[in-house]
Amino acid sequence: MCYNYSVMKALVWKDIGEIELVDRPMPELCSDKDAIIKVVMSSICTSDLHIIKGFVPKASKGIVLGHEFVGEVHSVGSGVKKFVPGDRVSANCETFCGECWFCKRGFVNNCENGGWEIGCSTDGCQAEYVRVSYADSVLTKLPESVSFENALFVGDILSSGYWGAELCEIKHDDVVAIIGAGPVGLCSMLSAKMFGPSRIVAIDTDDSRLSVAKENGLADIFLNPDKCDIGDEVRKLTDGRGADSVIEAAGSSSSFQMAWEIARANAIVAVVAMYEKNQVLPLPNMYGKNLTFKTGGVDAAKCEKLVELISQNKINTDFLITHKFSLENIKEAYKLFENKDDNCLKIAITN
Ligand SMILES: NC(=O)c1ccc[n+]([C@@H]2O[C@H](COP(=O)([O-])OP(=O)(O)OC[C@H]3O[C@@H](n4cnc5c(N)ncnc54)[C@H](O)[C@@H]3O)[C@@H](O)[C@H]2O)c1
Ligand SMILES: [Zn+2]
Ligand SMILES: [Zn+2]
């Protein structure tokens, strides 16, 4: 691609259901802690679809979409200490200062000076260049052994899957049920595996996605709610108790209900999915189950660790990239991703 250094291509969310690839001015450094990244590869996240449908209240119309990407540092502000132009990096989907009350405790999603901004309330990465605030906190350097493709999901879905698994406080003899074998659920499975549970139960209504989990050795038991009673099956595996922890990564009303129903008393239910409408917690029906619910946006504070695990071949997410498109054809890529055509899991958008 030939670059015009003052204008670039970018995918913009125009209005409900409307996106457009347009010419945009190149981003510029706005603070001494900013970096401008030349995007090498980006991806489309299910959360982008939630924005386009108007279900993300803090998303601003007119923004450049995208929050999952890898690239090369193009320029840095004078306050950026860890990065220089030319560095290969992955970027966190969350902007965080690293210094406020929440950041110091690892709750970077709640950073008093950031949160989910890139591709939501500030311009995102489905473009040729993107500005990243608090570059020293948000970027992770990639060692030579880790390719851009290897690291594409570090800052969002892999972080989310790992976070979901961490929330579950998995112990060695636990049975962990993961609802949804989409990209996030699959990342939850490969992360949960590292904590050494006795069994991982993958649950999805889509057999092709269960097959991906099976082919990649990410789970031990594969259940389709359209073909069996999930509660019965999970109780059979656990002497009638229910799952020791449940990760809900599907995002529908029925999967939300399934999550607490298949959990044993005193289990942890980690809700990683983002819903398009309110869900109901029927407390009288749950009375006595004494569940712990953990919910919300990922605290993506473990990117360095995840890159290290990738470089040690302990994690590999390459199998998630089922399709590749150039930025010019990104609208076509959105259609394929949204419809899950051709068994699409994740798309790498290359610049
Ligand atoms: N918490 C966070 O910070 C965070 C980060 C990234 C993504 N997300 C959210 O995580 C969710 C999952 O993302 P994804 O990209 O994997 O989405 P996806 O739509 O590709 O995958 C969801 C999977 O759930 C399955 N499913 C739907 N209803 C089901 C049901 N009732 N029972 C069993 N399976 C069911 C679908 O067949 C699908 O395979 C989305 O809501 C996304 O917005 C959250
Ligand atoms: Zn996302
Ligand atoms: Zn902060």
Mutate-to-test residue for ligand 1 from 43, 68, 162, 184, highest number of ligand atoms within 8 A of CB: 184
Q: How far is CA 262 from CA 13, 77, 91, in A?
A: 38, 50, 35
Name the percent of the chain lying above pLDDT 90: 96
Q: 200: closest CA among 249, 273, 160, 151?
A: 249
Question: Using 50, 70 and 90 to split pLDDT, how confident is the model at 276?
Answer: confident
What fold does the segment set 160-295 form as a domain? Rossmann fold (3.40.50)
Q: What is the pLDDT of residues 280-336, one digit of tens each?
A: 999 999 999 999 999 999 999 999 999 999 999 999 999 999 999 999 999 999 999
d(CA 251, CA 254): 8
pLDDT reading at 169 higher than 50 = yes
Cα(128) to ligand 1 centroid in Å equals 28
Minimal-distance CA residue to ligand 1 atom 8: 273
Of residues 199, 196, 168, 164, the one with CA closest to residue 183: 164
In this structure, is the dihedral angle defined by the CA atoms of residues 278, 267, 109 and 140, taken in order, positive or negative?
Answer: negative
CATH 3.40.50.720 range(s) for the chain read 160-295
Burial of residue 300, with CB atoms counted within 10 A of its CB: 0-12 exposed, 13-18 middle, 19 or more buried: buried
Residue identifier of the C-alpha nearest atom 18 of ligand 1: 182
First to last CA, the chain: 7
Q: Specify the pTM.
A: 0.95
* Residue extent(s) of CATH 3.90.180.10 domains in the chain: 7-153+317-350
Spatial neighbors of 216 by CB under 8 A, at least 6 apart, are 186, 190, 319
Three-class DSSP labels, 257-325: HHHHHCEEEEEEEEECCCCCCCCCCCHHHHCCCCCEEEECCCCCCCHHHHHHHHHCCCCCCHHHEEEEE
**What lines the ligand 1 site, CB under 6 Å?**
45-47, 50, 156-157, 160, 179-185, 203-206, 209, 225, 249-252, 254-255, 272-274, 297-298
- CATH number assigned to the domain with residue range 7-153+317-350, chosen from the 4 options 3.60.21.10, 2.30.110.10, 3.90.180.10, 3.30.70.1170: 3.90.180.10
Residues 247, 272 contacting (CB under 8 angstroms): yes
Q: Which residues hold their Cβ within 5 A of ligand 2, which is an ion?
A: 45, 47, 156
Give the model's pLDDT for residue 5.
Answer: 60
